[in-house]
């Protein structure tokens, strides 16, 4: 998973501006990243008359997240138009989410996805999520070259672990509420 995450980051960096020295940024910014795995078992309510949220709408705090979901399904991502779209399980396929750290580092050249999990059937659902993050003490600050000439800088520099703490303290009981995004934490031009 670590290797895969690193490869994904490398490919994403390559897709930024032409002429950007992606190798340099990989080495200087992303090399000390680390990952952690969350194993999730969703136990449905006994009687499920309607769809219920197993995990409310949120963005991941990571740079990228790799998700495996079992055949039950239920993962949904919000489109730009604000519509929920099903991410149907597909054999031998993993889902990759961009997370907030990469959104901030790239000055929103990459966008963190809003997603949630819906429980549609009265059966257990199982998933694995591998979060690939910057090291805790890293100061996240988009390089000028990544912001690009003529573009406004969207984020102030911030320490990775400070954002994690901010999310932990704001999320208790209100995971899906707006107002707790990386823009709320470190945005300049809100």
CA distance 19 to 16: 9
**101 belongs to the binding site for ligand AKG (CB under 6 A):** no
116, 62, 5, 144: CA torsion to nearest 10: 130
43 touches 122 (CB < 8 A): no
Q: Which of residues 168-187 bind ligand AKG (CB under 6 A)?
A: none
Least distance in angstroms from the C-beta of 153 to Fe ion: 27
**167 belongs to the binding site for ligand AKG (CB under 6 A):** no
Q: Which stretch binds Fe ion (CB under 5 A): 54-62, 133-141, 144-152, 153-161?
A: 54-62
Figure out which of the listed residues 5, 69, 112, 113 binds ligand AKG, where binding follows CB under 6 A: 69
Least distance in angstroms from the C-beta of 55 to Fe ion: 7
Q: Which stretch binds Fe ion (CB under 5 A): 12-20, 30-38, 55-63, 70-78?
A: 55-63
122 touches 66 (CB < 8 A): no
CA distance 98 to 167: 17
Q: Which of residues 97-136 bind Fe ion (CB under 5 A)?
A: none
Sheet holding 95-98, edge to edge: 34-42, 125-133, 64-69, 95-98
CA distance 29 to 57: 29
Q: Which is nearer to Fe ion, 116 or 138 (CB)?
A: 116
Least distance in angstroms from the C-beta of 31 to Fe ion: 24
Q: Which residues bind Fe ion (CB under 5 A)?
A: 60
């Amino acid at each position: 998973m670590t290797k895969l995450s690193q490869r994904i980051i490398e490919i994403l960096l390559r897709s930024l501006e032409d002429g950007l020295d992606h190798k340099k940024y990989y080495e200087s910014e992303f090399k000390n990243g680390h990952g952690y795995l969350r194993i999730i078992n969703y136990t449905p309510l006994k009687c499920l008359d309607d769809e219920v949220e197993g995990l409310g709408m949120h963005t991941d705090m990571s740079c990228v997240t790799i998700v495996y979901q079992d055949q039950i399904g239920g993962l949904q991502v919000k489109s730009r138009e604000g519509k929920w779209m099903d991410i149907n399980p597909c054999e031998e396929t993993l889902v990759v989410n961009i997370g907030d750290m990469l959104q901030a580092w790239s000055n929103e050249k990459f966008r963190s996805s809003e997603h949630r999990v819906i429980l549609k059937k009265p059966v257990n659902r199982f998933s694995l999520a591998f979060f690939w993050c910057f090291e805790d003490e890293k100061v996240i600050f988009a390089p000028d070259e990544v912001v690009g000439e003529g573009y406004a800088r969207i984020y102030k520099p911030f320490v990775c672990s400070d954002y994690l703490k901010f999310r932990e303290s704001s999320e208790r009981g209100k995971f899906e509420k707006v107002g707790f995004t990386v823009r709320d934490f470190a945005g300049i031009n809100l």
